[in-house]
Structure 1
Amino acid sequence: MRNFILLFLLFGSIFASDFITKNEYAKMLYSNPRGIGCDKCHGKKGEGALIAKFKHFDKKSNKIVDGELKAPRINNLDFWKFSEALKRPKDVMPSYFLTDEETLLLYEYVKNFNDNKDKK
């Protein structure tokens, strides 16, 4: 009986389907790709979000003024622009070192936010 169970588990693992779906993997990438998730700055649905408020000295007016650091909306980008932002981050955008497949999955996941909003 023990041999039958071991044989069953062996063949079951060989013919098993993926552990998680591509959509589940993309959701995981969006919420925590490499330590900090896209959602922390770009919002739950890629709509963009306020990261921080601060005060700084404006040389033109010679006064201390309020400033804001905002992350842009990403659910409306074309694939090339989305991919380039991940490959060559600027300003405070961190580097994630995603594979091409992960970038595509993440892009499709973010674009899906717009599709779901249009259906409501």
Structure 2
Amino acid sequence: MINNSFITDYEYGAMLYENPRGIGCNKCHDRGDKSVIIAKYKNKKNETKTLNSPAINNVPFEKFVDVLTTKRGSSNIMPSYFLTNDEIKSIYFYLKNLKK
């Protein structure tokens, strides 16, 4: 975690969640406590499909890290943001302690 006297771990995690590298986690995951519709589109069969982001506030830490750090090829739409281990820990801390 960050060790600065002017910002708490919670505040640092919130800052990263809202804008880690130009776009925030909150743009797709809102407050992290529910699935969010990212986009709707028509496939080749003209069927309407919905792309949802999952709720992330109750994901185990190991899975949270895995999703952010493991490359999955072209099918992965979740950006990694090139977060450091400390940044990932801070975001996770923020989500687990999110003030309602």
TM-score by length of 2: 0.82
Asked whether the 8 Å contact 2:32–2:55 carries over to 1, the reply is no
Q: Counterparts of 1:20 and 1:112 in 2: how far apart (Å)?
A: 15
Runs of at least 5 residues in structure 1 that lack an aligned partner in the other structure = 1-16, 59-63
Matches of residues 22-101 of structure 1 in structure 2 within 5 Å?
22-58=9-45, 64-88=46-70, 90=72, 91-101=76-86
Paired residues, what number?
94
Higher relative contact order (CA 8 A, sep 6+): 2
Counterpart CA distance in 1 for 2:65 and 2:31 is 19
| Structure 2: gaps of 5 or more residues | none
Contact 1:27 1:109 survives alignment (8 Å) = yes
Which one has a larger percent helix, Structure 1 or Structure 2? Answer: 1
Deviations 1:50-106 (A, max 9, x none): 101111123xxxxx1101111111111100000111112542111211111111111
* Alignment partner, residue 91 of structure 2: 106
Letter matched to residue 33 of structure 1: P
- Mapped contact 2:34–2:54 kept (Cα < 8 A): yes
Cα distance in 2 for partners of 1:37, 1:86 equals 14
Percent identity of equivalent pairs? 47
> By how many angstroms is 1:46 displaced?
3.9
Higher radius of gyration, 1 or 2: 1
